[in-house]
Protein backbone atom coordinates (compact mmCIF):
# COMPACT_ATOMS: atom_id res chain seq x y z
CA UNK A 1 0.00 0.00 0.00
CA UNK A 2 1.28 3.48 -0.87
CA UNK A 3 1.95 6.10 1.80
CA UNK A 4 -0.85 8.38 0.50
CA UNK A 5 -3.39 5.55 0.58
CA UNK A 6 -2.23 4.46 4.05
CA UNK A 7 -2.59 8.01 5.37
CA UNK A 8 -6.03 8.59 3.91
CA UNK A 9 -7.21 5.32 5.50
CA UNK A 10 -5.58 5.75 8.92
CA UNK A 11 -5.02 9.42 9.67
CA UNK A 12 -8.13 11.65 9.71
CA UNK A 13 -6.19 14.92 9.82
CA UNK A 14 -5.96 15.93 6.15
CA UNK A 15 -3.56 18.82 6.83
CA UNK A 16 -1.19 16.47 8.62
CA UNK A 17 -1.43 14.05 5.69
CA UNK A 18 -0.50 16.77 3.23
CA UNK A 19 2.53 17.79 5.32
CA UNK A 20 3.76 14.18 5.56
CA UNK A 21 3.30 13.68 1.81
CA UNK A 22 5.26 16.86 1.06
CA UNK A 23 8.03 15.74 3.43
CA UNK A 24 8.18 12.47 1.49
CA UNK A 25 8.47 14.42 -1.79
CA UNK A 26 11.34 16.45 -0.32
CA UNK A 27 13.05 13.27 0.92
CA UNK A 28 12.67 11.68 -2.50
CA UNK A 29 14.39 14.71 -4.06
CA UNK A 30 17.17 14.72 -1.44
CA UNK A 31 17.77 11.00 -2.00
CA UNK A 32 18.14 11.59 -5.76
CA UNK A 33 20.75 14.28 -5.18
CA UNK A 34 22.66 11.89 -2.91
CA UNK A 35 22.55 9.01 -5.40
CA UNK A 36 23.26 10.94 -8.57
CA UNK A 37 26.98 11.53 -9.12
CA UNK A 38 26.29 14.02 -11.91
CA UNK A 39 24.91 16.85 -9.79
CA UNK A 40 25.50 20.56 -10.14
CA UNK A 41 26.48 20.64 -6.49
CA UNK A 42 29.45 18.73 -5.21
CA UNK A 43 27.83 16.86 -2.33
CA UNK A 44 31.21 15.77 -1.06
CA UNK A 45 32.41 19.34 -1.29
CA UNK A 46 34.31 20.94 1.51
CA UNK A 47 32.08 23.52 3.11
CA UNK A 48 32.87 27.16 3.45
CA UNK A 49 30.14 27.95 5.95
CA UNK A 50 29.34 27.18 9.56
CA UNK A 51 25.89 27.30 11.11
CA UNK A 52 25.14 29.76 13.94
CA UNK A 53 26.36 27.14 16.44
CA UNK A 54 29.74 26.68 14.84
CA UNK A 55 28.97 23.32 13.17
CA UNK A 56 30.44 23.00 9.70
CA UNK A 57 27.69 23.10 7.05
CA UNK A 58 28.12 20.89 4.03
CA UNK A 59 26.49 21.77 0.68
CA UNK A 60 24.07 18.89 1.23
CA UNK A 61 23.00 20.24 4.67
CA UNK A 62 22.07 23.53 3.05
CA UNK A 63 20.43 22.05 -0.04
CA UNK A 64 18.32 19.64 2.05
CA UNK A 65 17.16 22.53 4.24
CA UNK A 66 16.15 24.56 1.16
CA UNK A 67 14.28 21.62 -0.37
CA UNK A 68 12.34 20.96 2.83
CA UNK A 69 11.48 24.62 3.30
CA UNK A 70 10.25 24.88 -0.27
CA UNK A 71 7.94 21.87 0.17
CA UNK A 72 6.71 23.20 3.53
CA UNK A 73 5.76 26.51 1.87
CA UNK A 74 3.41 24.48 -0.31
CA UNK A 75 1.86 22.61 2.62
CA UNK A 76 -0.52 23.75 5.39
CA UNK A 77 2.39 24.85 7.60
CA UNK A 78 2.67 28.20 9.40
CA UNK A 79 6.27 27.96 10.58
CA UNK A 80 9.45 26.02 9.85
CA UNK A 81 12.60 25.66 11.95
CA UNK A 82 15.71 23.59 11.37
CA UNK A 83 19.23 22.83 12.49
CA UNK A 84 20.55 24.97 9.66
CA UNK A 85 18.80 28.22 10.63
CA UNK A 86 19.15 30.18 13.82
CA UNK A 87 15.53 31.21 14.32
CA UNK A 88 12.32 29.96 12.78
CA UNK A 89 10.78 30.92 9.44
CA UNK A 90 7.34 32.52 9.67
CA UNK A 91 5.49 31.32 6.58
CA UNK A 92 2.96 34.11 7.13
CA UNK A 93 -0.37 32.32 6.88
CA UNK A 94 -3.00 31.10 9.32
CA UNK A 95 -2.39 27.37 9.01
CA UNK A 96 -2.11 25.39 12.23
CA UNK A 97 0.91 23.09 11.81
CA UNK A 98 4.59 23.81 12.46
CA UNK A 99 7.54 21.66 11.38
CA UNK A 100 11.01 21.31 12.94
CA UNK A 101 13.67 19.36 11.05
CA UNK A 102 17.19 18.05 11.02
CA UNK A 103 17.42 18.31 7.21
CA UNK A 104 20.49 16.09 6.94
CA UNK A 105 21.45 13.90 9.88
CA UNK A 106 24.84 12.22 9.90
CA UNK A 107 26.63 14.76 7.68
CA UNK A 108 30.01 13.36 8.70
CA UNK A 109 29.01 10.17 6.84
CA UNK A 110 28.21 11.86 3.48
CA UNK A 111 31.75 11.44 2.18
CA UNK A 112 32.03 7.78 3.11
CA UNK A 113 28.81 6.46 1.53
CA UNK A 114 27.24 5.45 4.84
CA UNK A 115 23.52 5.93 5.62
CA UNK A 116 22.34 9.46 6.38
CA UNK A 117 18.81 10.86 6.76
CA UNK A 118 16.24 13.57 7.46
CA UNK A 119 14.42 13.85 10.82
CA UNK A 120 11.17 15.79 11.36
CA UNK A 121 8.73 16.73 14.10
CA UNK A 122 5.23 18.15 13.49
CA UNK A 123 3.17 20.05 16.08
CA UNK A 124 0.07 22.17 16.20
CA UNK A 125 0.77 25.87 16.68
CA UNK A 126 -2.01 25.67 19.29
CA UNK A 127 -2.88 29.36 18.79
CA UNK A 128 0.45 30.35 20.33
CA UNK A 129 2.74 32.99 18.86
CA UNK A 130 5.29 31.11 16.73
CA UNK A 131 8.17 31.92 19.09
CA UNK A 132 6.33 30.01 21.82
CA UNK A 133 4.88 27.32 19.58
CA UNK A 134 8.37 26.05 18.71
CA UNK A 135 9.14 25.62 22.42
CA UNK A 136 6.36 23.13 23.17
CA UNK A 137 7.38 19.87 24.83
CA UNK A 138 7.89 16.70 22.79
CA UNK A 139 4.68 15.24 24.22
CA UNK A 140 2.82 17.82 22.09
CA UNK A 141 4.05 16.34 18.80
CA UNK A 142 1.28 15.29 16.44
CA UNK A 143 3.60 13.29 14.23
CA UNK A 144 7.28 12.54 13.90
CA UNK A 145 9.55 10.52 11.70
CA UNK A 146 12.78 10.14 9.82
CA UNK A 147 13.93 9.11 6.36
CA UNK A 148 17.06 7.00 5.90
CA UNK A 149 19.10 7.40 2.70
CA UNK A 150 20.87 4.05 2.73
CA UNK A 151 20.93 0.86 0.65
CA UNK A 152 17.15 1.36 0.75
CA UNK A 153 15.35 4.67 1.24
CA UNK A 154 13.05 4.17 4.22
CA UNK A 155 10.65 6.20 6.31
CA UNK A 156 9.85 5.53 9.98
CA UNK A 157 6.67 7.40 10.84
CA UNK A 158 4.26 7.89 13.71
CA UNK A 159 1.15 10.04 14.02
CA UNK A 160 0.26 8.61 17.42
CA UNK A 161 -1.09 5.23 16.33
CA UNK A 162 2.04 3.12 16.50
CA UNK A 163 5.23 3.29 14.46
CA UNK A 164 5.08 2.34 10.80
CA UNK A 165 7.82 1.79 8.21
CA UNK A 166 7.74 2.54 4.48
CA UNK A 167 10.32 1.98 1.74
CA UNK A 168 10.76 3.93 -1.49
CA UNK A 169 9.77 2.28 -4.74
CA UNK A 170 12.20 4.22 -6.91
CA UNK A 171 10.50 3.29 -10.19
CA UNK A 172 7.23 4.83 -9.08
CA UNK A 173 8.74 7.48 -6.76
CA UNK A 174 6.28 6.34 -4.08
CA UNK A 175 6.78 5.07 -0.55
CA UNK A 176 5.21 1.66 0.07
CA UNK A 177 4.27 0.10 3.39
CA UNK A 178 6.78 -2.41 4.76
CA UNK A 179 5.72 -2.75 8.41
CA UNK A 180 2.51 -1.36 9.91
CA UNK A 181 3.33 -2.24 13.53
CA UNK A 182 6.94 -1.96 14.62
CA UNK A 183 7.63 -3.52 18.03
CA UNK A 184 11.04 -3.03 19.58
CA UNK A 185 12.12 -6.16 21.49
CA UNK A 186 12.03 -5.45 25.26
CA UNK A 187 15.43 -6.93 25.98
CA UNK A 188 18.67 -6.63 24.06
CA UNK A 189 22.36 -7.48 24.21
CA UNK A 190 23.60 -4.75 21.86
CA UNK A 191 24.62 -1.22 22.83
CA UNK A 192 25.55 1.81 20.71
CA UNK A 193 27.83 4.53 22.09
CA UNK A 194 30.88 6.46 20.88
CA UNK A 195 33.33 4.78 23.25
CA UNK A 196 36.19 7.10 22.30
CA UNK A 197 34.69 9.64 24.72
CA UNK A 198 34.78 7.28 27.72
CA UNK A 199 37.14 9.57 29.63
CA UNK A 200 34.48 12.32 29.55
CA UNK A 201 31.55 10.17 30.70
CA UNK A 202 29.63 10.60 33.93
CA UNK A 203 29.60 7.81 36.53
CA UNK A 204 26.28 6.29 35.46
CA UNK A 205 27.40 5.88 31.84
CA UNK A 206 30.87 4.57 32.79
CA UNK A 207 29.44 2.00 35.20
CA UNK A 208 26.65 0.90 32.88
CA UNK A 209 29.00 0.37 29.90
CA UNK A 210 31.62 -1.35 32.10
CA UNK A 211 28.96 -3.80 33.28
CA UNK A 212 27.87 -4.45 29.67
CA UNK A 213 31.49 -5.09 28.69
CA UNK A 214 31.98 -7.58 31.53
CA UNK A 215 29.43 -9.73 29.74
CA UNK A 216 28.52 -13.16 31.08
CA UNK A 217 30.98 -12.85 33.96
CA UNK A 218 29.67 -9.44 35.10
CA UNK A 219 26.54 -8.28 36.93
CA UNK A 220 24.43 -8.31 33.76
CA UNK A 221 25.14 -11.99 33.16
CA UNK A 222 25.14 -11.83 29.36
CA UNK A 223 27.55 -10.91 26.58
CA UNK A 224 26.94 -7.66 24.68
CA UNK A 225 27.85 -6.59 21.15
CA UNK A 226 28.51 -2.97 20.15
CA UNK A 227 27.57 -0.88 17.08
CA UNK A 228 28.07 2.84 16.32
CA UNK A 229 27.31 4.16 12.85
CA UNK A 230 27.62 7.85 13.70
CA UNK A 231 24.31 8.67 12.00
CA UNK A 232 21.46 8.75 14.51
CA UNK A 233 18.99 7.69 11.80
CA UNK A 234 21.02 4.58 10.96
CA UNK A 235 21.56 3.57 14.59
CA UNK A 236 17.85 4.14 15.28
CA UNK A 237 16.82 2.19 12.19
CA UNK A 238 18.79 -0.83 13.45
CA UNK A 239 17.14 -0.54 16.88
CA UNK A 240 13.64 -0.43 15.33
CA UNK A 241 14.48 -3.62 13.47
CA UNK A 242 16.20 -5.73 16.10
CA UNK A 243 16.32 -3.80 19.40
CA UNK A 244 19.32 -2.32 21.19
CA UNK A 245 20.21 0.63 23.41
CA UNK A 246 21.63 3.90 22.04
CA UNK A 247 23.45 6.30 24.37
CA UNK A 248 24.67 9.83 23.73
CA UNK A 249 24.99 11.02 27.34
CA UNK A 250 26.09 14.42 28.57
CA UNK A 251 29.83 14.51 29.13
CA UNK A 252 32.53 16.70 30.58
CA UNK A 253 33.39 18.50 27.34
CA UNK A 254 32.24 22.12 27.53
CA UNK A 255 30.07 21.86 24.41
CA UNK A 256 28.47 18.61 25.57
CA UNK A 257 27.54 19.45 29.15
CA UNK A 258 23.89 19.13 28.11
CA UNK A 259 24.61 16.29 25.69
CA UNK A 260 25.38 16.62 21.99
CA UNK A 261 22.12 15.86 20.23
CA UNK A 262 19.33 18.40 19.80
CA UNK A 263 16.12 18.09 21.74
CA UNK A 264 13.56 19.48 19.28
CA UNK A 265 14.67 17.90 15.99
CA UNK A 266 16.62 14.81 17.08
CA UNK A 267 15.63 13.59 20.58
CA UNK A 268 11.91 14.50 20.51
CA UNK A 269 10.98 12.90 17.18
CA UNK A 270 13.05 9.82 18.03
CA UNK A 271 11.41 9.59 21.45
CA UNK A 272 7.88 9.68 20.01
CA UNK A 273 8.72 6.98 17.45
CA UNK A 274 10.39 4.84 20.13
CA UNK A 275 7.50 5.18 22.56
CA UNK A 276 4.97 4.28 19.86
CA UNK A 277 7.04 1.17 19.11
CA UNK A 278 7.05 0.05 22.76
CA UNK A 279 10.55 1.28 23.65
CA UNK A 280 11.76 4.03 25.98
CA UNK A 281 13.67 7.31 25.58
CA UNK A 282 15.18 9.27 28.47
CA UNK A 283 17.74 11.93 29.31
CA UNK A 284 18.75 9.73 32.27
CA UNK A 285 16.32 11.40 34.68
CA UNK A 286 13.21 12.30 32.71
CA UNK A 287 11.28 10.92 29.80
CA UNK A 288 12.52 12.92 26.77
CA UNK A 289 8.95 13.86 25.82
CA UNK A 290 8.49 15.64 29.18
CA UNK A 291 11.64 17.77 29.01
CA UNK A 292 10.93 21.52 28.98
CA UNK A 293 12.16 23.32 25.87
CA UNK A 294 13.85 26.69 26.30
CA UNK A 295 15.56 27.00 22.97
CA UNK A 296 14.94 25.51 19.51
CA UNK A 297 18.57 24.35 19.40
CA UNK A 298 18.79 23.08 22.99
CA UNK A 299 20.93 19.98 23.46
CA UNK A 300 19.97 16.95 25.49
CA UNK A 301 21.44 13.67 26.63
CA UNK A 302 19.62 10.93 24.70
CA UNK A 303 19.34 7.29 25.71
CA UNK A 304 16.76 5.18 23.91
CA UNK A 305 15.83 1.70 22.74
CA UNK A 306 14.72 -1.60 24.25
CA UNK A 307 12.67 -0.80 27.36
CA UNK A 308 14.34 -3.18 29.84
CA UNK A 309 17.83 -1.94 29.08
CA UNK A 310 16.80 1.76 29.11
CA UNK A 311 15.12 1.22 32.48
CA UNK A 312 18.30 -0.35 33.75
CA UNK A 313 20.31 2.68 32.61
CA UNK A 314 17.83 4.96 34.43
CA UNK A 315 18.42 2.90 37.57
CA UNK A 316 22.20 3.48 37.25
CA UNK A 317 21.51 7.20 36.68
CA UNK A 318 19.28 7.63 39.69
CA UNK A 319 21.36 5.56 42.09
CA UNK A 320 24.84 6.93 41.45
Q: What is the DSSP letter of 142?
A: E
What is the C-alpha to C-alpha distance for residues 279 and 288, in angstroms, rounded to an integer? 12
235 belongs to the binding site for Mn ion (CB under 5 A) = no
270 is catalytic: no
Choosing from 76, 106, 269, 284, the residue that interacts with ligand AHG (CB under 6 A) is 106
**Closest distance of CB 102 from ligand AHG, Å:** 5
| Residue 135: half-sphere exposure toward Cβ, Cα within 13 Å | 11
**Alpha helix segments (H runs only) across 176-287:** 203-213, 232-242, 268-276
Q: Are residues 192 and 179 in contact, defined by beta-carbon separation less than 8 angstroms?
A: no
Q: Which stretch binds ligand AHG (CB under 6 A): 37-45, 126-134, 169-177, 226-234?
A: 226-234
* Residue 116 to residue 215: CA distance in whole angstroms: 31
**300: which strand partners?**
261
Write down the least CB distance from residue 269 to ligand AHG, Å.
12
Pairing of strands 49-50, 56-57: antiparallel
Determine if 232 is a binding residue for ligand AHG (CB under 6 A).
yes
Q: Give the Cα separation of 31 and 60 in Å (integer).
A: 11
309 assigned to active site: no
Q: Is 230 in the site for ligand AHG (CB under 6 A)?
A: yes
Least Cβ distance, residue 158 to Mn ion (angstroms): 19
The one of Mn ion, ligand AHG, none whose footprint includes residue 77, by CB under 5 to 8 A per kind, is: none
Within 100-139, which residues bind Mn ion (CB under 5 A)? Answer: 102, 104-105
**Segment near Mn ion (CB under 5 A); pick from 99-107, 140-148, 176-184, 237-245:** 99-107
What is the set of active-site residues?
55, 61, 83-84, 102, 104-105, 266
Amino acid sequence: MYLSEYLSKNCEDTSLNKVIINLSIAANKISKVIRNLNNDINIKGVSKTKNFDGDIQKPLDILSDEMLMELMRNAPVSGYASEEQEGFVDLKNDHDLIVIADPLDGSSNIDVNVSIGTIFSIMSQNNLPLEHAFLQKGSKQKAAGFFVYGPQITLFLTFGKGTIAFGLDENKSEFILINDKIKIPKSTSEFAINASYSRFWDKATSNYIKDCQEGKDGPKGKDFGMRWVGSLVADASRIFNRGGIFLYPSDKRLKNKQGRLRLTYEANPLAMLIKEAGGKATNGIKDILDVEVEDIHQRSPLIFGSSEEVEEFIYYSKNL
